[in-house]
Amino acid sequence: MLNYRTTVSSAALAAILTLSASPALAQTAPDAAPPRETANPPAAPVDAATIGDIIVTANKRAENIQSVPLAVSVIAPAQLAVAGVRNFADLGKIAPSLVVRPAEQPQNSNISLRGVGTLAFGIGVESSVAVLVDEVPVPLTARAFNDLPDIERIEVLRGPQSTLYGKSASAGLVNLITRDPTDTLRVRANAVVTSDQERGANVSVSGPLSPDLGYVFSAAYNFWDGNVHNVFDDKQVNGREAVNLRGKLRWKPMDDASITLSLNYVNGNTDVGRPFIHVAPGARLRGVAALDPATVFPGVTIGPDNQDISNNFDSRTKYQGGGGYLRGEFGVFGDMNLISISSYDRYHLDDYLDQDDTSSTTTFGNNNQIGSFDSEQFTQELRLQSPGDKPFRYTIGAYAATNAFARAFVRGPYFSIANWDATSKSRQVAGFVQADWTVYPGLTLTGGGRVQNERVSYSFVDHAAGNAAYSGKAYDTAGTYRGSIRYEFTPTVSGFFTYSTGYKGQTYDLTTGFNQNRALAGPIRPERSRDKELGLRTQFFGRRLTLNVTLFDTDYDNLQAQTIETLADGTSNYRLTNVGGLNTKGIEFEGSATLASDLTLGGSVTYLDAKYTSFPVAQCYPLQTAALGCTGTPARQNLTGTRVPQAPEWKFNVNADYSPRLTDTLRGVAQVNWQYQSSLYYAARDPETFQPAFHIVNLGIGIRDEDRRWEVVGFVNNVFDQQYYSSLVNTAGNFGNQIATQALLPRDFRRYGGVRLALNF
């Protein structure tokens, strides 16, 4: 099953390249320009067959996506439903340049764009891909791994976005746009029930409280029992349960002023289950002869399709958090727009892991890992925008933020002992500007820059080493910039070239093993990127056919990655540090085709070539020998020229929606979604973490009201029951240096069916 491999014929590729599509319509632009441009205008629902402009806020102002000289995709809720995406971790199914790799707990998960992410676990280490909700940055990676209950659209911006969005967007960003208050009473509700014990529902109510005051309130609940069976206690794991609440009030006292207050709360938990899929006959827990697989995994049959574990400790996470923002938009100086966004967020997560992953009754079978994360964030952004309909238009702004993270971690008590507490804090202030100048009709020049100053500090107390305490701080001032030229050959055909730089801030590697040597080594230097993009944006046949293509080439210097470091006293250790460089280049196709009022096609495809340009001293993978490239003292491997982990060469998504008229008031629904991903490694060169190519097909059929007031669809996801893994972990070191490989199973590891219901009135 797992070793099923799929290839794409040249004919199929040709079809995809012809009909490759940007994922989804987001909102249709009005026929006439609004009197004042806003950065995040209320979005109206759009029928899949509606032909109009897709509006995005990638440049912090509402613009037609075809006019933005950036690589940006837009995903609407309808696309999420067809692809079986109800959780942030599944977004990679529908955004081909995006790979989301889950882990045993959300903070260790990784988000990568075009092969670039952050493979590190320290609390002070930033992600290379920023996640925002309504333009407000999410402070902690774990904070993003929730359900998607109240989404109006999702914007995925690929390539460095540091000029407008700051130091956590050196590889790109994902912006989740939630629904806004409406002028009339609107009720939207969705529910889903599946054959494998998932059930969920969400409702959103919006409307006016008075002529000047509007509201929206949404609530969502989702439960999934999981697809892994713990034979030790006969429980299902690898599931989740979450409650999400969100509310907005928008006060509009006059035509050119509005104030929006948004509050949110989340409470949830997950079960963790990592089945063993490959274990050598000679594997023994901690090398103890009596602790063979039959003894430590009783009742478990090891193999590629294994969905059983035997754990005597409940591996799980529990989390809760909340926050909100206050957004004001005011007309000033005649036709200018002043925008202020103030935000606060607080989040707490507890994680528990059966660290030995067995149910052995010996001491070695009772080694556990317990920890907690806390985060607190304040942000303030202030920007002034000129009108969007002038030949020269600009945005100038300032940004300030403080972040505080805390981690408590205990592991043991029998091996891999750890017991420490750490804090990481940062304070940043920045100023940015971007201007667009239409030199003459059809030719637009864009330039922008950002200067930011940051202070980072930390504390670390190692209780397992006699309460040894360390602390430190560092400062840095950095600049990033962007420039582009765009030319309209016709009103619906344009091309652009963009050059931009990215920046990822300095940090400290606050993980197990932090000691005096690490403290003396100081902070890890900032990571920088330089990106070149050449794009073509086209629409034909009255905008019924959209075909977009982007070529990109990005270099990363001072790459922050895990490696071996030799310190001043001559000792060496494994830590996050600056290792050299990385280059990622490729081509992205996007498009959509409305073949008839009741038939739309879409999809997108990415070809990616992402390799280390300099990584001479990399950590060896478990069981790697000298013959396999692990040499020297301390042992290391040279990854220069090697494809980076989580970087499939090919990835595409194709979808179709057919809604034939059945009666004057009813339409049928037939939907298909096809996802393909070529092979990749989850850890560089490690054969135990190799994921072969796979493809997933989802089908849906149902009925809907002519005006889309309601819809009922029965669906089957992973129709051909193709097994693949969302992550692979080599744990040979825990089993006497014999093969012992575990997998994290995706939501659609097995074929499942269900029914989804949507109401909209």
Query: Any alpha helices (H) in 176-304, and if so which ranges?
Result: 293-296
Residue 293 CA to residue 284 CA, distance in Å, equals 7
Is 0.85 surpassed by the pTM of this model? yes
Q: What is the pLDDT of residue 574?
A: 66
Question: What average pLDDT does the segment 225-252 reach?
Answer: 95
Which CATH number fits the domain 10-760, given the four candidates 3.30.565.10, 2.40.170.20, 3.40.1160.10, 3.30.1120.130? 2.40.170.20
Q: 393 and 436 in contact (C-beta within 8 Å)?
A: yes
pLDDT digits (tens, 9 = 90+) for 627-686: 999 998 888 999 999 999 989 999 999 999 999 999 999 999 999 999 999 999 999 999
Reported as a pLDDT band with limits 50, 70 and 90, residue 36 is very low
**With 60 as the cut, is the pLDDT of residue 44 above it?**
no
Residue 644 CA to residue 562 CA, distance in Å, equals 13
Nearest by Cα to 104 from 418, 423, 355: 355
Q: What is the pLDDT of residue 8?
A: 37
**With 90 as the cut, is the pLDDT of residue 201 above it?**
yes
* CA distances to 369, 417, 519 from 470, in Å: 23, 19, 7
Q: Which residue has the tokens 């509402």?
A: 62
Q: What would the two tokens of residue 302 be?
A: 């090891």
pLDDT digits (tens, 9 = 90+) for 165-178: 988 888 999 999 99
Q: What is the pLDDT of residue 35?
A: 35
Please give the torsion angle defined by the CA atoms of residues 250, 54, 192 and 145, in that order, rounded to the nearest 10 degrees: -70
Quick check: bond before 634 cis, omega within 30? yes
Cβ burial, residue 441 (10 Å; 0-12/13-18/19+): exposed
Q: What is the pLDDT of residue 47?
A: 38
Q: What is the pLDDT of residue 14?
A: 38
Query: 246-282 burial, b if ≥16 CB within 10 A, otherwise e?
Result: bbbbbbbeeebebbbebbbebebebbbbbbbbbbbee
All structural domains of the chain with their residue ranges: 10-760
pLDDT digits (tens, 9 = 90+) for 297-325: 999 999 999 999 999 999 999 999 999 99
**DSSP β-ladder status, 545-557 and 560-566:** unpaired
Query: 517-528 burial, b if ≥16 CB within 10 A, otherwise e?
Result: bbbebebbbbbb
The 3-class SS string of 45-89 reads CCCCCCCCCEEECCCCCCEEHHHCCCEEEEECHHHHHHCCCCEHH
Q: What is the pLDDT of residue 717?
A: 95
Reported as a pLDDT band with limits 50, 70 and 90, residue 111 is confident
Nearest by Cα to 104 from 733, 748, 743: 743
Q: Which residues, including other chains, have CB under 8 Å from residue 162's CB and lie 6 or more apart?
A: 169, 170, 450, 480, 500, 501, 502, 503
Residue 470 CA to residue 473 CA, distance in Å, equals 11
**Beta bridge partner(s), residue 705:** 666
**With 60 as the cut, is the pLDDT of residue 591 above it?**
yes
pLDDT digits (tens, 9 = 90+) for 443-476: 999 999 999 999 999 999 999 999 999 999 999 9
**DSSP β-ladder status, 680-681 and 308-309:** unpaired
Q: What is the pLDDT of residue 117?
A: 81
**Which segment of 89-93, 144-148, 618-622 scores lowest on mean pLDDT?**
144-148
Q: What is the pLDDT of residue 603?
A: 92
**With 60 as the cut, is the pLDDT of residue 12 above it?**
no
DSSP state of 689: G
**With 50 as the cut, is the pLDDT of residue 407 above it?**
yes
**Which segment of 12-21, 126-135, 239-248, 580-589 scores lowest on mean pLDDT?**
12-21
Please give the helix or strand (H or E) that residue 423 lies within, else none: strand 418-440
Q: 586 and 607 in contact (C-beta within 8 Å)?
A: yes
Reported as a pLDDT band with limits 50, 70 and 90, residue 28 is very low
Mean pLDDT of the chain: 88
**With 90 as the cut, is the pLDDT of residue 75 above it?**
no
**Which segment of 7-16, 113-122, 729-738 scores lowest on mean pLDDT?**
7-16
Q: 84 and 92 in contact (C-beta within 8 Å)?
A: no
